[in-house]
């Protein structure tokens, strides 16, 4: 499967385009649409560069979900999982209870697991809570 328009809009809605590098809430240097690989302080990019990184970065998440999800998925479920994986990273997705529940066929249990992933440094985060609720809603739609 590939990322659909709803998934793309969800990711872009939470990442937002930033043309100058900034540190996210965990201190990770980020630029563009949530791009982190090789980003350094004071780095800038064009919107075209940010869009190209977005395609590469979301494809990494798409490949991870295609590799790890062993059950049939609707486009909405797939998009929600790609958004989740894009945000938490493929290593975290691969070892998550969310994926374990999903792969047993417990779609409802998997949906509830989105809401667990809303912490920064062990503290609940309002922005991540909104994102996980949106991913869960898309997954259940």
> 17-36 burial, b for 16+ CB within 10 Å, e for fewer?
ebeebeeeeeeebbbbbbbe
Question: Would you list the domain boundaries of the chain?
Answer: 5-140
3-49 residue pLDDT tens: 999 999 999 999 999 999 999 988 999 999 999 999 999 999 999 99
Q: Which helix (H) or strand (E) holds 64?
A: helix 47-68
Q: Quote the pLDDT of residue 25.
A: 86
Residue 130 has pLDDT above 90, yes or no: yes
Query: Quick one: tokens of 8?
Result: 């793309």
Q: Quote the pLDDT of residue 139.
A: 98
Q: Quote the pLDDT of residue 26.
A: 87
Write the CA distances from 50 to 68, 73, 132, integer angstroms. 27, 29, 24
Q: Which helix (H) or strand (E) holds 30?
A: strand 29-32
Query: Quick one: tokens of 39?
Result: 């980003």
42-88 residue pLDDT tens: 999 999 999 999 999 999 999 999 999 999 999 999 999 999 999 99
Active-site amino acid positions: 15
Q: Quote the pLDDT of residue 47.
A: 98
User: What is the C-alpha separation between 10 and 13, in angstroms, rounded?
Assistant: 5
Answer positive or negative: Cα dihedral of 6, 137, 113, 123: positive
Residue 28 phi, psi (nearest 5): -90, 130
**Could you confirm whether domain 5-140 is CATH 1.10.10.10?**
no
Q: Quote the pLDDT of residue 103.
A: 98
């Amino acid at each position: 499967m590939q990322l659909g328009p709803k998934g793309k809009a969800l990711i872009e809605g939470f990442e937002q385009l930033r043309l100058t590098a900034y540190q996210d809430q965990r201190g990770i240097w980020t630029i563009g649409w949530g791009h982190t690989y090789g980003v350094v302080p004071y780095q800038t990019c064009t919107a075209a560069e940010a869009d190209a990184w977005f395609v590469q970065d979301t494809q990494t998440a798409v490949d991870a979900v295609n590799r790890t999800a062993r059950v049939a998925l609707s486009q909405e479920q797939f998009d929600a999982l790609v958004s989740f994986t894009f945000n938490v990273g493929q290593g975290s997705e691969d070892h998550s209870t969310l994926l374990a529940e999903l792969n047993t066929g417990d779609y409802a249990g998997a949906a509830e697991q989105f809401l667990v992933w809303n912490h920064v440094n062990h503290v609940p985060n309002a922005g991540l809570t909104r994102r996980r609720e949106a991913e869960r809603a898309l997954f259940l739609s």
